A and B are shown apart, each in its own frame.
Chain A
């Protein structure tokens, strides 16, 4: 019996030790020279899984997906990888492109391998920080962080961002929890630059948020629109207006507040982390996702602004006419986009903690 116990103990020890190093295997390739699998890091809820299944069927490359809920998760993983990323493909929102490029965290993209990108409209190219389109490939979509309200239940007319602090809205607001959006909107409303690094301006922005927070029922990273739909809130500072408008009944029920200072805009890009092992396969996936059929599948799954003629011809009429995807230019012409810096991040964290702990 004793020898059996010893044997079991040795076996378990070896299993655990080996288990710790699982995943450190060598890569394999398919017959056509592509790797058998790639690792990607993308936003949760942005892509239908069928895209990756179709990709595997077409090219024999299995896609291992890690979902993220904010870009900082990508940054944390890339920094930890120390230039040898385990990921081959990432979603990257425009605000982060400049710091990622400045810190050499991205590989150059060979657009010869992405012929479908030629169909993209001009306005999606050249995000701040990558004006030459060297490191990022547009996904074809851009978004706005908007104040959306229920026309029937919102007790006041919202004409400026500061109106969110009106006591009549107590418990009525759902807000995104992105620090960039929170401080960007507040700084602009106070007449400052959204990428300010002046501490006194953040003090004022935090004071404004302290007042607005009295009316906020929920801060959430996603699904703001659900709190409007289930009647929990009558106003939302959100980026999922298009999802709210997926239901046709909502088209006349909700509207965007026409504020005087403009809204935050951001576009979505794809990138390849520095040191990625499967650059060629990542470019192949980008090209695949920009094909009309797959682009249409993305839009049907997560409604977004369309930037090719081909996709517009393929999506349903409800998507084409979705009010969120056809915003009046008066809402978007004053929009602003901002690259984030370390100085901003430090100030944002300090003052976010301050107003959230009040």
Chain B
């Protein structure tokens, strides 16, 4: 009897495994074919040698990785990290009060979140280009201010740090607000009341209760903003006038004008490694990968 029961159990388990395999198959095919294999190919390519006219010689070399340390390219990496850090800080500083406000308005929070997601409904390129039209010397903002008599000649709103900052915050703000909103919303509100009952003022309550409790959300916001920001050269190109070269530009150039695919692949791998390290640090500090959508 026991043998038959075991055989039944093994049969059921095999069947269940088979069904699991079938259920996972679509995602597995997708991930392997479109994510894993291209990434492996990228890694493989980064250890190859550049050939003439953009071709690749399949000879092992670590030259591309050594080249990243040359001052020209290292400066680009430093600058990219700096711009990404500034943009991330701006997104978190603007996004936190916004997330707090949305979380506090329970009845309309759904509508507010929907409004915040509006930029995602259109192509990023279109929204950025609308800034170019708005901020140019003969654009909407300058014309409006001049009509009102506030200014007498156009002020420079485009192709500077201001326009880049506005563009970055506009495009990446939803990435920052969503995890912070989730964190604030989940927070046990009775702890805030307890803090007040014990005599703490609003500032102290915020600093000693709200902020520590919503730390995972802030960290998730930092990661979700910093990661796209570091490779996001479209905004600096279109709103900053393309006068600054970021790591995204260098990678793009290697696959086009510079014709050096191994070097482009090496830079991409380094960028991917930085992102993985950031995610590892995030989990080490108690972050939940689910909050990042992973």
Residues of A within 8 A of B (CB): 2, 5-6, 9-10, 12-13, 16-17, 20, 70, 72-73, 75-76, 79, 99, 103, 105, 171, 177, 179, 213, 216-220, 230-232, 342, 345-346, 348-354, 356-358
User: From DSSP, what is the main secondary structure of chain A's interface residues?
Assistant: helix
The smallest C-beta distance from B42 to any residue of chain A, in angstroms, reads 14
1-52 of chain B: CB within 8 A of chain A: 19, 22-23, 25-26, 29-30, 33, 52
141-180 of chain B: CB within 8 A of chain A: 154, 156, 158-159
Q: For the side of the interface on B, what is the size category? A: 35 or more
Of B191-199, B202-210, B236-244, B268-276, the segment with at least 4 beta carbons within 8 Å of chain A is: B236-244
60-75 of chain B: CB within 8 A of chain A: 72-73, 75
Residues of A within 8 A of B55 (CB): 79
Q: Are A76 and B241 in contact (CB under 8 A)?
A: no
The smallest C-beta distance from B68 to any residue of chain A, in angstroms, reads 11
The smallest C-beta distance from B286 to any residue of chain A, in angstroms, reads 35
Sampled A-B contacts (14; CB under 8 Å):
A9-B23, A9-B26, A12-B25, A70-B257, A72-B256, A75-B259, A171-B156, A213-B243, A342-B53, A351-B72, A353-B72, A353-B245, A353-B250, A357-B72
Q: Are B244 and A349 in contact (CB under 8 A)?
A: no
Residue from the set A70, A73, A218 with the largest chain B CB neighbour count within 10 Å: A218
- The reply to whether the CB of B112 lies closer than 8 angstroms to some CB of chain A is no
Q: Mark B250-294, 1 if CB is under 8 A from A, else 0.
A: 100111111110000000000000000000000000000000000
The smallest C-beta distance from A212 to any residue of chain B, in angstroms, reads 11
Q: Mark B120-146, 1 if CB is under 8 A from A, else 0.
A: 000000000000000011110000000
Residues of B within 8 A of A (CB): 19, 22-23, 25-26, 29-30, 33, 52-55, 72-73, 75-76, 79, 136-139, 154, 156, 158-159, 241-245, 249-250, 253-260
Known: A17-B29, A103-B52, A179-B257. A218 touches B138 (CB 8 A): no
Q: Are B30 and A345 in contact (CB under 8 A)?
A: no
Q: Are B255 and A230 in contact (CB under 8 A)?
A: no
Q: Which one of A20, A353, A356 contacts B243 once the chains associate, using CB atoms below 8 Å?
A: A356
Residues of B within 8 A of A179 (CB): 257
Q: Are B73 and A353 in contact (CB under 8 A)?
A: yes
CA distance A9 to B29 in the complex (A): 11
Residues of A within 8 A of B19 (CB): 2, 5-6
CA distance A20 to B55 in the complex (A): 25
Q: Are A232 and B158 in contact (CB under 8 A)?
A: yes
CA distance A343 to B250 in the complex (A): 18
Q: Are A349 and B257 in contact (CB under 8 A)?
A: yes
Q: Are B245 and A230 in contact (CB under 8 A)?
A: no
Known: A218-B242, A345-B257, A345-B258. A16 touches B26 (CB 8 A): yes
CA distance A213 to B244 in the complex (A): 10
Residue of chain B at shortest CB distance from A220: B242
Q: Are B159 and A75 in contact (CB under 8 A)?
A: no
Residues of B within 8 A of A217 (CB): 159, 241, 243
Residues of B within 8 A of A10 (CB): 22, 25
Q: Are A79 and B53 in contact (CB under 8 A)?
A: yes
Q: Are B53 and A103 in contact (CB under 8 A)?
A: yes
Residues of A within 8 A of B137 (CB): 230-232
Q: Which one of B29, B72, B75, B259 contacts A16 once the chains associate, using CB atoms below 8 Å?
A: B29
Residue of chain B at shortest CB distance from A354: B72
Residue of chain A at shortest CB distance from B21: A9
Q: Which one of B72, B136, B256 contacts A70 once the chains associate, using CB atoms below 8 Å?
A: B256
Beyond A232-B158, A348-B257, A357-B75, 17 additional pairs, beta carbon < 8 A: A2-B19, A9-B22, A10-B25, A16-B30, A70-B256, A73-B256, A218-B159, A218-B241, A219-B241, A232-B137, A342-B53, A345-B257, A345-B259, A349-B253, A353-B250, A353-B253, A358-B75
